[in-house]
Structure 1
Amino acid sequence: MKHPDDSGIAHGGPARPEATIPALPPAVCFAGLELPAGVLRTLSRLGVREPFPIQAATLPDALKGRDVLGRGRTGSGKTLAFGLPLLTRTAGRRAEPKQPFALILVPTRELAQQVTEALAPYAEALQLRMATVVGGMSIGRQVAALRQGAEVVVATPGRLHDLIERNACRLGRVRITVMDEADQMCDLGFLPQVVDVLDQVHPDGQRMLFSATLDREVDQLVRRYLHDPVVHSVDPSAGTVTTMEHHVLVVHGPDRYAVITEIAARDGRVLLFLDTKHSVDQLTRHLRASGVHAGALHSGKSQPQRTRTLAQFKNGEITALVATNVAARGLHVEGLDLVVNVDPPTDPKDYVHRAGRTARAGESGSVVTLVPAGQRRETSRMMAGAGIEPTVTKVRSGEAELSRITGAKAPSGTPLDGGPAVPRPKNSNAPFRGLGTSKDPSRGAGGKSRKAGEARKLAEARKAALVRRNG
């Protein structure tokens, strides 16, 4: 297995074009950089004292206008690494309607909003106008914002393409272009739209490409659009983060939802990942019926719903966020110390990005992956591909070891949305019946199957109906 620090295509290592000009020395502090006084005051006011490694490495080159190819673990501070140079080099200019000077491309709505929120104080200090262009929101309002004039546009490729087609945005004056999480944009099928956008921006402009993983999937973007880029790779693998613990919990199949419910009922927030929108909604309903303050996040939700759910999770109104991979990138929640893979990812990159929601900016956290005994081999291969050596533990619901690792505890059982409470087994180690079912007290570890129990209940109901009909 390759070491994460190798050129490392196996771990999503960056393509490494040969640069003819050596990289500048890393920055020691923000004050030593060519940053405007307003930016320095804003950094101080927001408590940003020293640059993170990815910022220290890339800021000197980016401020000089060089193309940058940067990789930093998610949560490592990439937004300011590209945002501060972009804003600084755009300051003092006033955009015409529909014609921005700088563009930040991101793969998801959530990341677009987060980037905008992170850069807004610095843009305000420099009197720069920002516009966020994403799907799921009013296109009319976005057209109006561009018509009024915006120096900086943060956009998802699909919605930006729509606005260009409507002649609501023209990119010929864009001199600085950032592609954040470029590998995910390629994975999501945005590559043709990204190429179309990059063909329209000013050909002599600055391009910066940032991601937690950079592999062959973005090579064509690097080779075609980045000119003599300086390459910086910082925190290359989730497996190298010393403040992050990785656990594989081997769970007995029928006990799976009981384990999940107890983890979700812990004190403190938890982010739970599942593969499908249906399973996210199903688990969320179950958790809320069990008394857990849970919310669902996936692409089937409207943007206002997604925004509201994220806000509730960040302020603690929701303690368990149940999500698909839409939450695997760009989501930053202060103090989130537990991520749970209810459905283990099959791609090592997905594991890296899910794990990156915790242990951010030097904080500590744990990543727990629930695995049925029969899937251990596949999960082990995936985690080896991510450079992870997890601690493997067999657990059952109600056991102290589960609580020690995750903080799991019994839920209140009081439904949050009305309806009957979800019954809890008297024996904490008894198998969980699954969603929408109740415990059959006649069935123990060696009892009848679930289908047999349901058949017996149906037969009893028919018999009772026959007795009533015959008087």
Structure 2
Amino acid sequence: MNAKPPAPGLSRAGKTQRATALRGELSTPQAVIPGLPPAESFDSLGLPPELMNTLIGLGVKEPFPIQAATLPNALAGRDVLGRARTGSGKTLAFGLALLARTAGLRAEPKRPLALVLVPTRELAQQVSEALAPYASALNVRLATVVGGLSINRQVALLRTGVDVLIATPGRLTDLVSRRDCLLNQVRISVLDEADQMCDLGFLPQVSEILDQVRPDGQRLLFSATLDRNVDQLVRTYLHDPVFASVDRVAATITTMEHHVLNIHAADKLATATEIAARDGRVLMFLDTKAGVDQFTRHLRASGVRAAALHSGKSQPQRTHTLAQFKEGETTVLVATNVAARGIHIDELDLVVNVDPPADAKDYLHRGGRTARAGESGSVVTLVTPNQRRDVNRMMSEAGIRPTVTQVRSGAEELTTITGAKRPPVAMKDSSGNAPFRGLGTRPGRPVKETRKAADARKTAEARAAARVRKGR
């Protein structure tokens, strides 16, 4: 196990306070334990002039709470453990410190000086885009390596020399195993969204990566929750970390509204379609890739500009889909949990759980796509009768008290809450039934065709085929 030389000791009270915090038992909404006091402004941090000018040019005037709480200690070279909800400004919280402490150094080919590990390709892209102007101002070479894109191009980029590398664990492990990337010169390591990396099964890869970086390097770990696996990373790889929390574990956001819409299973498709047809953008979550694709096709056929996003899409497809949604070319993004983190869309005021999430953590991260950086937004969850007990338990675990409303498609209450309206094209077949059957009474499952319906369909198909033959 890598370990850094011991830092000056704390008092017994300080050690007790930190131990309590690291167990995730801190109840105050904002705390820093113990370290330098939070920054009141960027001016007070002593950032390089290039970073200050870039912040001013981009209209960033005051630090968000997580930035104010962690930047002083991160800039001082301390290990930092930060807990904050998604969308709270964590990227600049670690990014400004990382860039400021890397500026003026030059990496050798294949040997980056700083590393940012993230769980998804989308988050890697978002971090890269957010840090690019600041890195450019400091002449720090930034690169991103993720799966789904040409590994040979990434190898060529590493050979030219990369100062700060943003990576997903899987692709970085591949590059390290091929010896196209060596980590022994990494002096600053960042784990962003550490809890999701653990949830996705990346803990062994993350541990293997951290075992290869400089043992005396700085570690910055940011996570929305501090569960058992994250705690393992903290205990193994962070030395005497400053703990900073700006949210309770199950914090709600004052600018976010939470609604549970109780619906009949047979009305789920129509209700979801009307919400999708609203004016303005909406992000809609379903459980499965097949469900996402089917519902997206249905919405397009109904005249709604919708696009699908899930792990079955190639990285260029995912990038293009996100760009279209951000630019307003599509108004509905239908996605699996791959979009629950690492996606920032300005002025996205509605997230809809067409299929309720499996647990409280997923709910909080899905909802975190709206009401970001002080904006307002709503999270709506469609719930059929057989899902109510599970959803009630999940909401309780998330610390959410939603507004519960019984609605049906076409109802005024639905329009009031979501802005729902009739889609441009009515999707009906000759029997008057909507042909799409992808939204079942259970999350992500299609409705099973009854034997009677199957017999009727086969009879109709046989008669149609007979008419075709007779016409010939």
Tell me the TM-score normalized by structure 1: 0.88
What corresponds to 2:156 in structure 1? 144
Structure 1 position 266 matched with structure 2 position 266: no
Counterparts of 1:97 and 1:126 in 2: how far apart (Å)?
19
| 3-state secondary structure, aligned to 1:335 | coil
Tell me which amino acid in the other structure corresponds to 1:96: E
Q: 1:248 aligns with which of 260, 274, 284?
A: 260
Counterparts of 2:111 and 2:124 in 1: how far apart (Å)?
19
Q: 1:312 aligns with which of 309, 314, 324?
A: 324
Q: Which runs of 5+ in 1 are unaligned?
A: 1-6, 414-420, 438-448
Q: 1:295 aligns with which of 307, 321, 332?
A: 307
What corresponds to 1:177 in structure 2? 189
| 3-state secondary structure, aligned to 1:240 | coil
Structure 1 position 31 matched with structure 2 position 43: yes
Counterparts of 1:466 and 1:322 in 2: how far apart (Å)?
40
* C-alpha distance after superposition, 1:150-209 (max 9, x if no partner): 100000011001111111111111110000001111111111110111000000110000
Counterparts of 1:291 and 1:69 in 2: how far apart (Å)?
47
Counterparts of 1:392 and 1:25 in 2: how far apart (Å)?
42
1:34 shift after superposition: 1.7
What corresponds to 2:296 in structure 1? 284
- Decide whether the 8 Å contact of 1:256 with 1:432 is kept in 2: no
- Decide whether the 8 Å contact of 1:71 with 1:213 is kept in 2: yes
What corresponds to 1:455 in structure 2? 455
Q: 1:106 aligns with which of 118, 124, 147?
A: 118
1:468 shift after superposition: 9.9
Question: Which aligned pairs between 1:305-454 and structure 2 lie closer than 5 A?
Answer: 305-413=317-425, 422-423=427-428, 434-435=436-437, 452=452
**Using a 3 Å threshold, how does the CA distance of structure 1 residues 461 and 188 change in structure 2: closer, same or farther?**
closer
- Decide whether the 8 Å contact of 1:13 with 1:236 is kept in 2: no
1:119 shift after superposition: 0.3
What corresponds to 1:78 in structure 2? 90
RMSD: 2.8
| 3-state secondary structure, aligned to 1:200 | coil
Structure 1 position 226 matched with structure 2 position 238: yes
What corresponds to 1:441 in structure 2? none
Structure 1 position 97 matched with structure 2 position 109: yes
Counterparts of 1:432 and 1:324 in 2: how far apart (Å)?
23
| 3-state secondary structure, aligned to 1:271 | strand
- Decide whether the 8 Å contact of 2:141 with 2:164 is kept in 1: yes
Counterparts of 2:159 and 2:186 in 1: how far apart (Å)?
16
Tell me which amino acid in the other structure corresponds to 1:423: K
What corresponds to 1:443 in structure 2? none
Question: Which aligned pairs between 1:120-131 and structure 2 lie closer than 5 A?
Answer: 120-131=132-143
**Using a 3 Å threshold, how does the CA distance of structure 1 residues 143 and 375 change in structure 2: closer, same or farther?**
same
**Using a 3 Å threshold, how does the CA distance of structure 1 residues 195 and 456 change in structure 2: closer, same or farther?**
closer
| 3-state secondary structure, aligned to 2:43 | helix
Counterparts of 2:454 and 2:126 in 1: how far apart (Å)?
48
- Decide whether the 8 Å contact of 1:244 with 1:367 is kept in 2: yes
Counterparts of 1:432 and 1:29 in 2: how far apart (Å)?
56
| 3-state secondary structure, aligned to 2:211 | helix
- Decide whether the 8 Å contact of 2:144 with 2:167 is kept in 1: yes
- Decide whether the 8 Å contact of 1:116 with 1:154 is kept in 2: yes
| 3-state secondary structure, aligned to 1:208 | strand
* C-alpha distance after superposition, 1:396-431 (max 9, x if no partner): 111110011011011111xxxxxxx722999xxx98
- Decide whether the 8 Å contact of 2:27 with 2:248 is kept in 1: no
* C-alpha distance after superposition, 1:372-392 (max 9, x if no partner): 012101100011111111111
| 3-state secondary structure, aligned to 1:236 | coil
**Using a 3 Å threshold, how does the CA distance of structure 1 residues 462 and 22 change in structure 2: closer, same or farther?**
closer
Counterparts of 2:145 and 2:468 in 1: how far apart (Å)?
65
Tell me the TM-score normalized by structure 2: 0.88
Counterparts of 1:315 and 1:467 in 2: how far apart (Å)?
48
Structure 1 position 217 matched with structure 2 position 222: no
* C-alpha distance after superposition, 1:260-283 (max 9, x if no partner): 100011100000111111111010
Tell me which amino acid in the other structure corresponds to 2:428: P
Q: Report percent identity of matched pairs.
A: 68
- Decide whether the 8 Å contact of 1:69 with 1:209 is kept in 2: yes
Tell me which amino acid in the other structure corresponds to 1:380: N
1:451 shift after superposition: 5.3
| 3-state secondary structure, aligned to 1:370 | strand
**Using a 3 Å threshold, how does the CA distance of structure 1 residues 39 and 431 change in structure 2: closer, same or farther?**
same
Q: State how many pairs are aligned.
A: 441
* C-alpha distance after superposition, 1:308-334 (max 9, x if no partner): 000000000011000011000110000
